[in-house]
Chain A
Amino acid sequence: MPRVVITILFVLGMSLLHAQNRDCWMFLASSVLPQEVQVVDGKMEGYSVWFHALAISDIQNPAVYETFQIDSMQCYSTDVFPCQLSRDTTDTTTGMVTESSFDTTGIISDAVDADSVWNIPNSGDWEISSSVEVKYEQLEMMQGYDWINEGFSGEGVTIAVLDAGFEGFLNDSAFQHIIETGSILNTYDFVKKDNDVFHSSSHGTQVMSCLAGMQKEDSTEVQYLGLAPCARYLLVRAEQSYSGRLVKEINFINALEWAVQQGADIITSSLIFGEQLYTRQQMNGQSLISQAAEKAYQQNVLVLNSAGNSDQNHWEILGAPGDAEHVLTIGACEWNGLKSSFSSVGPTSDWRAKPDLIARGLVFVTSNNHLSTESGTSFSCPLVAGFAACVMQLHPDWSAEKVRSELLQSATLYPYRDYAHGYGIPQAGYFLFPSDLPPADSATFHLEMMSDQVVEVVVHIAEEAVPQALDEALGEEADSGEGQDESDLLYVQLLDSLGRIVEYWAIVPEGKSGGLYDISGVPGGALKVYYKKYIQQMDFR
């Protein structure tokens, strides 16, 4: 009994001490910050907003100018997304530049608009004098705005969209450019056996907005929601429902065949045939619909399918036809490149690596003339399909096989892949500015054998690394990965003697520590590590 009391008191004491230390770090971090920042220009509410280098001046001391380089920031209408601001302070009298950063947790409110005020403790009043740039993260993460700026919009490419219905599509202003230009080549409902697909479910409409949606702002400014607004479309209703029980594979197979016959260059589907119809063992690419998708690919059609949203239930793995070998299976990721918690994982039951690529899983979609946020691999898939349409527009002579191969190589993690992220997020710069690709980076880490069974990943600290004290100030958000983009994440995997990934990690290294890894479970295997474009593999043979 006394031991129980001592234990409770001790744990309580340690918790209090830990909490006090956290407050200390917050105080140290905030002591270098201005007290109040006022947004003079900017419209953010309801949109995903990326700030770029806000110039801020101190009202009380105009001689000092500050530039906030904001690594990444989102702002939705209902949520607060804290971020880390890094600040370069230039004293114009001395020319001296100092650098610091802070976390916006609890500082920046969600309803930010012109004249919004952010209260930051311990300093004077500050005024923002620059404007903000509104960009949709779902496109920005794929460098999609490079496609748009270079004039690529999927023109000349035919995309077949297989879904459960396109209710509200015809009346949505986001698609009027498609309807008015006659870009809907054909439609067919394989459930009811007629040509009307604009009913039953708005899921297809939301998917279409990630392909071709265009949101007009202030009657002049156009915001792209997808990358293929100028493509031609075949809209197919291939199932009764996009979730729950998918009942008839034959509808999906017929839809695939019809799309090929209609001349589709790309077939994208956000229907997943998984636990309702199959066992995990059947996710080996041999199901009827997976074979049909593979046949379509052999007809020189690029086939994309969402991985599924089953990672938080017992099913976990992707569904058919995402298990087919040449179908591009698309998972979902968070803004920092980390796999979304719901996104289904691989491998297939015969240990082929899946998914292939990932894209943003929390997106802005339009449905019934309303812009809203939705999440799911259903929307990651059309984002990549639109991306692929731009690739086909740029290289109309490329085969589906070539496009598929190049898409994989353009991804952020390539040639590293795991069963959660695939090769990562496709990047437009790979296609548009191949000469600008950065040279192979030097080693960002090295591996050390600590013993016969333990390997340590030792990260090489860059000079411009953020001070550790400020990392501590990130608190809980840092624990969940907020404040880290994909270039900050360190990916580790253990491979068995057959080259299969038996265990994998995505971590945020702290200091030099990239973690200790027990290799005793993979005799004859290997440890592969990816960090900031550098890959190293240690074989245990």
Chain B
Amino acid sequence: MAQRDVKNRIGSVQNIRKITRAMEMVSAARLRKAEERAASLRPYADALRKMTRQAAQAAGSGELQAQPVLQTHEQEQTVGLLLVTADRGLAGAFNSQILRAGLQRAAELEADGKSVRWYATGRRGLSSLTFRNYEVAASYTGFTDAPNATHAHEIAEELVGAFVDQQIDRVEIIFNHYVSPLVQEVSRQTLLPLSKAEVEVEGDPAADAAPEATAGPKALVEYEPDPAEILAQLVPEFVEVSLLRALLESAASEHGARMTAMRSASDNAGEVIDNLTLAMNRARQAEITQEIMEVVAGAEALN
């Protein structure tokens, strides 16, 4: 390769490294924000659980169990699969591993004689599914790097509606579970029917054991509307919370995955530059040697 060509290539690899470095830093900053957002969901979910317990107690026994989103459908024919992917690529295996897990799960379900209804968040998941000629029942795009409650609300209502109307008998969500900035694990979770564990207060035995026994006389609690109705509205909120948690974790994972991918891209670019520089030096040396040989040969010819 001529010296000039190698020089050009070094230049373009250096430019690429600048871009990947910048992307790495952007992802690192966004990752921190996404982590914070994921953490701030917890107090909300805990408070929601406590309110639900209060409403469930007031509504009377059996009310909570009777909530439609907690019901297992007797016959599971159609399973909704929600793939949580990113809007953009350049994040290593982030999107492809979700898709792979989704297709594998679909094959399992179909082997069991069930049919699959696809849902997707993120442009990557949607385009991969449509490219493979799967029909996507609903898709949600444009927010995957910073999802908020409104997005989760929209998705949850669609899924809860379809579930309660018996169009789907079960909903599973496949997303990248956030372990650390470097590690994301593909995780599959059943979103509907909602597990009772999600609704119940965790590790709070003192509160569970006869709360009426504490303190003296208690004022009567007002309910607007009545407890059963509040309960009916509170319980589906947990679907939203689970969903939002998955979306937020996926967003944090996305930034982590992109950060890692961009870091290795930058490292790789450095290696490529080193190799090319070596090649360029060799080419230059070869050229000089060639010239010297020509001069010497010319001088010898004169003698």
Are A and B interaction partners? no
Q: Which positions in A face B, CB cutoff 8 Å? A: none
